[in-house]
Amino acid sequence: MLKHVTGLAVAAALTVGMSATAAADTVRIGWTAWSDAEFITKLTARVIEEHTDYEVDLVQTDIAPQYSGLAGGSIDMMLMSWLPATHENYVAEVQDDIVFLGILYTNARLGWAVPEYVPEDRLSSIADLTDAEVREQLDGTIVGIDPGAGLTQLSEQALEVYGLDGYTLQTSSGAGMTAALDRAYNREDWIVVTGWSPHWKFGAYELRYLEDPEGVLGGPERVHALARKGFDQEYTDLAALVARIYIPLDELQDAMFDAQETSYEEAVTRYIEANPGRINYWVTGEL
C-alpha cells in the first residue's frame, strides 16, 4: 500500500502488456487493490457507464506501472495519486505527461493506530512506546503491511528516529495487518498497527492515531485524479465529470466498510442510491 519509491525503470517493464487506448468510446482506468482506490474507481466506472455513452476498461496493476501507463498513454486515468508527499517522486518523473483532473478526497494520512480501549494516558504518542511497560504490553511488536510499501519504509524510519529499541516491525500484508487487529480487538489486547486513512478498519473498529511529534510519517494528504496528457481535450465531458467527483472521508470509509461486509459492487450501488443529488451534480454540473 502507498509505495513511495524513486525511479520508474522497473515499472516501465511492467507496462509492456498494456495495450494502447483501443477506441474512442472506451476509457481505460488504472487501479491498485487498495480498498479506497477500488471503491472510488468502481464507483466512477459505474457512473460513467450508466450516465454517458462511454465504456470503461479497468486495468488492475501496481502503483508504479500506473504512472508509467499515464505517461506512455496506455491508460487514460488513475484515481489514486497521494500528494503532496507520498507519491511526489512518481509525479515528479511524469509531470510533463499527465493532467490533474481534481481532488477526490482530502485529509488522507499515514500513521500508527491503536484501539480506543488502550488508555490514552499510557499511550498517546509514538514517543510513549519507549516506556518499558508499554513495550511489554505490545510484546515489542508493531504490526505492519507489505515490506515494499512506502508506509513500511516510513515506519522503519520511525523506529530509528524515536529510538524504539526492542521493537520489531512485523511485515505481512494489508489483510494480515487487519486480521491481527481483529484478533487483538476481540480480546481487547494492546496492539499498534501501521495504518492509513481512508481505510475500512476505521469504520469497523474504534481506533485513534498515535501522535507523531517528529513528523516521520508525514502530514495530511490529498488524493487526486490524474489523466494522460491530452485526455482533458479529447474527452472534455468525462474530464469535467471526474473533476466534480468529491467524497467526504467519513462517507468513503463507511462505504469501504460496507464493501468489506458485502462486495464493492453492492457498496457502489448503495452509495449511488443514497446520493442521487451528488451523482447528478457529478454528471451534469447542476446543483
Kindly report, residue by residue over 77-106, the tens digit of the pLDDT: 999 999 998 888 889 999 999 999 999 999
Rounded to whole angstroms, the Cα distance separating 64 from 87 reads 10
Dihedral sign (CA 34, 43, 98, 249): negative
Q: Which residue has the cell 511485515?
A: 171
- What pLDDT sits at residue 13? 39
Read off the pLDDT of residues 124-148 as tens digits, 9 standing for 90 and up: 999 999 999 999 999 999 999 888 6
Whether the per-residue pLDDT at 8 is higher than 50: the answer is no
Domain assignment of residue 21, yes or no = yes
In a domain, 3, yes or no: no
Read off the pLDDT of residues 35-83 as tens digits, 9 standing for 90 and up. Answer: 899 999 999 999 999 999 999 999 998 888 999 999 999 999 999 999 9
* Residue 182 forms part of a structural domain: yes
Domain-terminating residue out of 209, 228, 247: 209
Same domain, 242 and 172: no
pLDDT at 15 over 60: no
> What is the DSSP code string of 156-207?
HHHHHHTT-TT-EEE---HHHHHHHHHHHHHHT----EEEEES-THHHHS-E
Of the residues 209, 243, 276, the one at which a domain ends? 209
Distance of alpha carbon 160 from alpha carbon 211, whole angstroms: 16
Is the same domain home to 194 and 114? yes
Cell representation of residue 117: 480501549
Torsion (CA) 113, 190, 216, 197 in degrees, nearest 10: -10
CB 191 within 8 A of CB 143: yes
Question: What pLDDT is stored for residue 148 in this prediction?
Answer: 66
Residue 101 shares a structural domain with residue 232: yes
**Which has more confidence, 205 or 1?**
205
pLDDT over 90 for what percent of the chain? 77
Q: What is the pLDDT of residue 10?
A: 37
33 & 17 share domain: yes
Q: In this predicted model, what pLDDT tens digit does every residue of 171-230 receive, in sequence order?
A: 988 889 999 999 999 999 999 999 999 999 988 899 999 999 999 998 899 999 999 999
Cβ-defined contacts of 235-239 (< 8 Å, 24+): 235/27, 235/54, 235/76, 237/52, 238/27, 238/48, 238/52, 238/54, 239/99, 239/101
CATH (domain of 56): 3.40.190.10
Q: Given a cut of 70, is residue 9 above it in pLDDT?
A: no
> Within this chain, do residues 101 and 239 fall inside the same structural domain, yes or no?
yes
pLDDT for res 241: 98
pLDDT at 19: 40
> Same structural domain for residues 196 and 138?
yes
- Can you give the pLDDT at residue 219? 87
Domain identity same for 54 and 113:
no
Last residue of one domain, picked from the residues 209, 233, 248: 209
Q: d(Cα 128, Cα 48) in Å, to the nearest integer?
A: 48
Which of 153 and 209 is assigned the larger pLDDT?
209
60 and 136: one domain? no
Q: Which domain holds residue 190?
A: 109-209
- pLDDT confidence of residue 77: 98
The answer as to whether 2 is a domain residue is: no
The answer to the question of residue 263 being in a domain is yes
One domain for residues 229 and 103: yes
Collapsing DSSP to helix, strand or coil, 243 comes out as helix
Per-residue pLDDT, 53 = 94
- Look at the chain and report how many structural domains it folds into: 2
Give the span between the Cα atoms of 208 and 122, in whole angstroms: 14
Q: Identify whether the C-beta of residue 171 lies closer than 8 Å to the C-beta of residue 198.
A: no
Strand, helix or coil for residue 72: helix
In a domain, 274, yes or no: yes
The answer as to whether 245 is a domain residue is yes
CB-based contacts of 280, cutoff 8 Å, min separation 6: 286
Residue 1 lies in a domain: no
Secondary structure E strands in the chain: 26-31, 55-60, 77-83, 98-115, 141-143, 168-170, 193-197, 207-209, 221-228
Judge if 122 and 184 occupy the same domain: yes
Cβ–Cβ < 8 Å for 25, 54: yes
CATH of residue 157's domain is 3.40.190.100
∠ at Cα 138 (132, 144), nearest 5°? 125
For residues 92 and 230, membership in a common domain is answered with yes
Same domain, residue pair 62 and 72: yes
Rounded distance between C-alpha atoms, residue 145 and residue 50, angstroms = 36
So what's the pLDDT on residue 24?
A: 58
Q: Which pTM was predicted?
A: 0.79
